[in-house]
Structure 1
Amino acid sequence: MVQMRAVVYDEPFKVSIQNVEKPTLLHPNDVIVKITTSCICGSDLHMYEGRTGAQPGIVFGHENMGIVDEVGDGVSLLKKGDRVVMPFNVACGHCINCEEGKSAFCTEVNPGFAGGAYGYVAMGPYQGGQAEYVRVPFADFNALKLPPGKEHEEDFALLSDIFPTGWHGVELSGFRPGESIAVFGAGPVGLMAAYSAVLRGAAQTYVVDRVPERLQKAKEIGCIPIDLTQGDPAEQIKKLRGGKEVDRGVDAVGYQAVAADGKTEQPNAVLEGLISVVRPTGGLGIPGLYVPKDPGAPDSNSAKGYITFPFGKLFEKGLTVGTGQCNVKKYNRYLRDLIIAGRAKPSFVVSHNLSLDDAPNAYIKFDKRIDGYTKVLLHP
């Protein structure tokens, strides 16, 4: 049995580098990719903190890119040596949802659950790529070819998840060029949503967070930072606008939203804020993660995935709501070409490039939001 190094979940707040079995071709449509870059995602922290049903032994990593190392007999578009990036979604390419461009909700790769992903609890038997190698099923469909070489490595790595997911959040909101938009959360996905809104021609983009470094990043890309420690963010935004609400809103936080103190969990905080700040007949995009079960929830309803929010106000204002994980394939080739053309450089969010061996310490610092750890790229 050939082994490789990988980031393995041990218990809440602990991962380690372990030797695990190197993946092999299991189907003619598979390829094996030698990882050059894998990212730590905020979604990984949900498992890391014990806020999911993840069991010890899972190999983390759903944001993966690298070089094709082995090719199954049924693969026709890829060859050994190709540089590729994979959507975090594992999808078959031929079920009804995949045919409609909704690859995040593939019905074949993970029966009983809407969609599959690498290295994530309940998302199928697909080992993560925070490792030296990863197996890519349905590879012709799931792997996006990149120009050879090492140029744009940081930017292309973000095509696996956060750049498309940020773009998707804006899309879900129904955004149109020239509109105003408020993005709650200035983590990597929130900053990507704000950046996407700027690229797509937003008149004003407001970004809500409580971490000064994140708000500064938002300001640097032309957004208006809103510090939630200074009062109700919806009211702050409306005050800046002479009492007017915004056209669209994006929830880039999800179920672990906190109150202004940064410590008290309030799962409905962002949803309430968005309903308050978006104008009647406007739209909400919710790419922030919400889960069916939360073992660490602050109340019994939230533990079962039940979130209370003012549905009456939502109805009164006639707001539209778009939710769900990003169909990365819907966007990634176009965002790739924006990067190649020099029109987009999403890597401004990257704070650290580290070796795979540094992952355990990186998880600690990223989870605590210390030492400037915002977006970490791992290189085996």
Structure 2
Amino acid sequence: MKALVYEGPRKVVVKEMPDARIERPTDVLVKITTTNICGSDLHMYEGRTNMETGRILGHENLGVVTEVGNGVERIKVGDRVCLPFNIGCGFCKNCERGLTGFCLTANPGMAGAAYGFAGMGPYSGGQAEYLRVPFADFNCLVLPPDAEEKENDYVMLSDIFPTGYHATVLAGVEPGDSVVIYGAGPVGLMAALSASIKGASKVMVVDSHPDRLKLAEKMGAIPVDDSDGSSADQILEMTGGEGADRGCECVGYQCSCKGHEVPNLTMNNLIKAVRPTGGIGVVGVFVAEDPKAEDKLAKKGQLALDFGQLWMKGQHIATGQANVKAYNRKLRDLIAAGKASPSQIISHELPLDKAPEGYQHFDERDEGWTKVVLKPAA
């Protein structure tokens, strides 16, 4: 099968790889019809993780079931399914509590597994023609009859829509709240959509890329340009000096300012911009170690956090990757009912052969490259 393979920093190639196949009775095989490039794929693409060469990338996947293991009961050949990026077993302590992003079984030695991702198990990614899906009865989200028509909406259920929603849950967003979101990338835009769905009275999205801020405004948010570093002060002014009720961090450890990485920038801005006793939800990726970081603390996965201000303001911070299965059914039903259209952020659809080009443009933050979806069958 054709697949996109990581061969080193900023080098990915589409090549023939061994076909994905059923390996255990609880597996299914899925023919991938849409798979996305995610911002967290760029961490690996840039060589900022311990991703092994020869691995197939891709954790935002949707397709049609073509084969089922003899231990699979619920999923049938022909089902159109979306796969959560995090792989859960369904029966460990964390999965039973709905914390499927921290499965204790799928990746022995670490809480959490994912497709085509550094440090999250041996599972191949779905930027390929076929994908093996383990624990399929648990992990496959079966899509409704309009699945093909709304495929670009439903594929967002694999990661960024639930992750954006998760940011609002971690922050504690409730109807009537004012919300500030740092990052107008795909996850930040999905957090803005989610905050609106949850009834936020004011949604402010901070970034320094004009094209992304325009898209945030088109989605009904207030764009906040942080090119001059004044975003926290702007948020305070917009909220009468009190600060936003809730804040979402959707950037992560590679946050940059004027061409230089400043890993603690968004977190300290949020502490300043969120009101006393407000909540902050962090879904941007932060890693335990980053040897190639410019900052000495960041090399060890540490931040210079304004903890005194955080403590004095009585704020709370919640963190971690989204437990996709906690949200994907309800978000699926919003799409089916026409209440949500996450595909509005897609800027480019490419065949799988053009994936290296997509990675390059997305990594360079070229204007207009907001969200890239790949079509292996094209």
- TM-score of the aligned structures, taking structure 2 as reference length: 0.98
**Residue number among 178, 181, 186 corresponding to 1:180 in the alignment:** 178
User: Does the CA-based 8 Å contact 2:88-2:100 persist in structure 1?
Assistant: yes
Report the equivalent of 2:369: 373
> What SS class does the counterpart of residue 227 from structure 2 fall into?
helix
Q: Which runs of 4+ in 1 moved over 4 A?
A: none
Does residue 168 (structure 1) correspond to residue 196 (structure 2)? The answer is: no
Aligned to 2:149: 151
Give 1:371 shift. 4.7
Write out aligned runs for 1:11-160 (5 A). 11-148=8-145, 150-160=148-158
**Structure 1 residue 308: Cα displacement:** 1.3
**Quick one: distance in 1 between partners of 2:240 and 2:69?**
61
Amino acid of the residue matched to residue 39 of structure 2?
A: G
SS at match of 2:65: strand
| Distance in structure 2 (CA, Å) of the matches to 1:309 and 1:69 | 49
2:264 paired with 1:265: no
Residue ranges of structure 1 left out of the alignment (5+ in a row): none
Give me the whole-angstrom Cα distance separating, in 2, the residues matched to 1:255 and 1:173. Answer: 19
Identity %: 54
Give the C-alpha shift of residue 151 in structure 1: 1.2
- SS of alignment partner, residue 220 of structure 2: coil
Q: Secondary structure at the match of 1:68?
A: strand
1:274 alignment partner in structure 2: 270
User: Using the alignment, how far apart are the partners of 1:147 and 1:377 within structure 2?
Assistant: 21
**Which of 321, 327, 337 is equivalent to 2:323?**
327
For 1:320-373, what per-residue CA distance to the aligned partner results, in whole angstroms no more than 9, with x for missing partners?
111000000000010000000000001111011110000011111111111511
User: 1:50–1:295: 8 Å Cα contact kept in structure 2?
Assistant: no
Aligned to 1:239: 237
Indicate yes or no: 2:313 matched with 1:289.
no
| 1:280-309 deviation per Cα after TM superposition (whole angstroms, max 9, x unaligned) | 111000000001121321122211111111
In the TM superposition, what whole-angstrom CA distance separates every residue of 1:199-251 from its partner, at most 9, and x where no partner exists?
A: 11101011000000110111111111100014421101111223221100000
Among 194, 197, 203, the residue aligned to 2:195 = 197
Whichever residue aligns with residue 287 of structure 1, its letter is V
Q: Bigger CA drift: 321-330 or 106-115?
A: 106-115
Rounded Cα–Cα distance in structure 2 between residues aligned with 1:292 and 1:35: 32
Partner residue, 2:335: 339
3-state SS, counterpart of residue 340 of structure 2: coil
CA distance in structure 1 between the partners assigned to 2:338 and 2:38 by the alignment: 25
Residue 309 in 1 paired to residue 319 in 2?
Answer: no
Q: How large is the RMSD of aligned CA atoms in angstroms?
A: 0.9
- 1:248 corresponds in structure 2 to 246
Deviation of 1:11 (Å): 1.2
Query: Who is 2:353 aligned against?
Result: 357
- The number of equivalent residue pairs is 375
Q: Distance in 1 between matches of 2:137 and 2:25?
A: 11
Structure 1 position 8 matched with structure 2 position 5: yes
Q: Give the Cα separation in 2 of the matches to 1:299 and 1:228.
A: 21
The residue identity in structure 2 corresponding to 1:303 is: K
The answer for the alignment partner of 1:208 in structure 2 is 206
Measured in 1, the distance between the counterparts of 2:247 and 2:324 equals 20
Provide the rounded CA distance (Å) in 2 between the counterparts of 1:333 and 1:296: 38
Structure 2 distance, partners of 1:174, 1:196, is 12
Q: Distance in 2 between matches of 1:371 and 1:238?
A: 29
Whole-Å separation in 1 of the counterparts to 2:248 and 2:218: 19
Report if aligned partners of 2:26, 2:134 keep a CA contact under 8 Å in 1: yes
Q: Deviations over 1:183-212 (max 9, x none)?
A: 000000000001110111101011000000
Give distance in 2, aligned partners of 1:269 and 1:299: 12
The 8 Å contact of residues 211 and 367 in structure 2, kept in 1 or not, is answered as no
Classify the secondary structure of the residue corresponding to 1:117.
coil
